A and B are shown apart, each in its own frame.
Chain A
């Protein structure tokens, strides 16, 4: 029983991260119908920015070796600033990798290529600045919170709980915002039909920027939290999550917000259930799900069947 509960707890907290990832993709996808492959790189950026924010110094292998901010911010502040920084960076990605293509109505394939390029440039610039080594956020970053909680026999690290709470909060706020607010409904209108939305006086360019800023914010927040939870394994660690996030995205259904959550939790739980002696294969779980869903239900668990526009 305890084992099962432990798997559940671990699975949910990992799944929450995947869900945040898939949500970041979903936000952009639902407006533009394309995937922003730079998302994983922004996640990495968020982790490094959070690390710098709490006063961490650059290691000896980076071009900025030994450099640190002159001050150490409390973790929540550093995390929020990192999120804002990533929102800004994603706006830059939109301006460079997406907008020029949108102007000339380029094929969706090209967005994949340019955003992949943007991600690669960003990750490798981070590698030059910080070196390839891993970084750990200070263990006392959460201040007075106890590092470990016990819950009905299952052990849960505070940071895992925090991840779960952030994921739940983001999900709730996002759903409410999309359904209830003027801005959210405008975003949905643009995703349904950009031409009609424009006729209704909705500025679709502004909506595109909004979706990039929001998904950048999400990437930054989750990057900082995961950096605290499992440490930053190097500049590529966001890419690894980003690739899994794609699997989660397809599993849940491209463009579906609840699908992103469900997909994330399913993959997280499945990974947690992989027995210890096969743990090396854990990283293949998300992709196995991806192929399974493409075979059985290509629109994903909660996605709608695509409608051909002619």
Chain B
């Protein structure tokens, strides 16, 4: 039933869900998670296919090279997030949502029109650091645990309260001593880095990478993870990513209706379940 490959995709979904959750926890909608994942994937794809020295002699791609890719992807994503966030996050309101759409589109256009990144077909034959899905599962699980533990630590820290305060009322937060610009920028940058790290592992796993990974559909899908799971606790988007990634695979007959279902989740979720499936009240009952 649940094969290794599906589990890998579910973990990727959970990580992307967390990436959307982080800025949302500070009241900012970023639709650029797939865009940053695309960037991370390209860093991995380009380094591993174009830089021979990273390949090594073994049939499996060396792990130190993979770590180097992760590091570099994080740096590139961080730089890009600052470039977008610095002008945009000084503004209050909905500008980040619009700017991240713009970022996705610029990335897509540039990647499609650049022969160096393989144009529309993208990059093929990305080498494998792991022999089977189990290795990817382990790597993604480590990343997810790290990200989850970080979110858990933030939630108990004044930073987590500051994020929630900015989400509830940015102006009141500012007047209560919170540097809301810094908080928003931090959340957005963390979101970008996490998506890029996920992209590195995803590019190796999928073996091929192209600009379609960052399409508008992908933005919708990742947003649905968070709306479904809830954005009041980090377990919400993790659950959302796991379940909604598995759902279309498990329910094959849904087929063409996949995006209609996701659209309906995004449309009706905030109306019927404003806090998503995983609510603080639920968690209090489960984990006293």
Give yes or no for direct A-B contact (beta carbon below 8 Å): yes
Binding site for B on A (CB under 8 A): 34-35, 96-97, 100-101, 106-110, 112-114, 116-125, 127-128, 236, 239, 243, 246-247, 250, 280-281, 283-284, 286-288, 290-291, 294-295, 298, 306, 308, 310
3 closest Cβ pairs, A-B complex: A117-B267, A117-B266, A120-B263
Given contacts A106-B270, A113-B29, A291-B99, contact A284 B106 (CB under 8 A): yes
- Report which of B94, B99, B105, B227 forms a contact with A284, defined as CB distance below 8 A: B105
Interface of B is mostly: helix
Cα distance A128–B257 in the bound complex, in angstroms:
8
User: Cβ of A280 and Cβ of B265 under 8 Å apart?
Assistant: no
User: Cβ of B91 and Cβ of A280 under 8 Å apart?
Assistant: no
**B27 contacts A by Cβ under 8 Å:** yes
User: Cβ of A112 and Cβ of B97 under 8 Å apart?
Assistant: yes
- Per-position binary interface string of chain B over residues 24-39, scored 1 when its CB falls under 8 Å from any chain A CB and 0 otherwise: 1001010000000000
**B246 contacts A by Cβ under 8 Å:** no
* B101, closest chain A residue (CB): A243
- Residues of A within 8 Å of B265, CB to CB, are 117
**B93 contacts A by Cβ under 8 Å:** yes
User: Cβ of B105 and Cβ of A243 under 8 Å apart?
Assistant: yes
**B147 contacts A by Cβ under 8 Å:** no
Cα distance A35–B262 in the bound complex, in angstroms:
20
User: Cβ of B220 and Cβ of A113 under 8 Å apart?
Assistant: no
- Report which of B216, B227, B274 forms a contact with A243, defined as CB distance below 8 A: B216
Query: Separation in Å of the A132 CB from the closest CB of chain B?
Result: 10
User: Cβ of A125 and Cβ of B260 under 8 Å apart?
Assistant: yes
- Per-position binary interface string of chain B over residues 57-96, scored 1 when its CB falls under 8 Å from any chain A CB and 0 otherwise: 0000000000000000000000000001001101111110
- Residues of B within 8 Å of A239, CB to CB, are 216
User: Cβ of B266 and Cβ of A114 under 8 Å apart?
Assistant: yes
A-B contacts besides A109-B27, A284-B105, 11 pairs, CB < 8 Å = A34-B94, A109-B29, A114-B267, A114-B270, A122-B263, A123-B263, A124-B257, A127-B256, A128-B260, A287-B102, A294-B87
User: Cβ of B29 and Cβ of A124 under 8 Å apart?
Assistant: no
**B142 contacts A by Cβ under 8 Å:** no
- Per-position binary interface string of chain B over residues 124-143, scored 1 when its CB falls under 8 Å from any chain A CB and 0 otherwise: 00000000000000000000
- Report which of B98, B113, B264, B274 forms a contact with A281, defined as CB distance below 8 A: B113
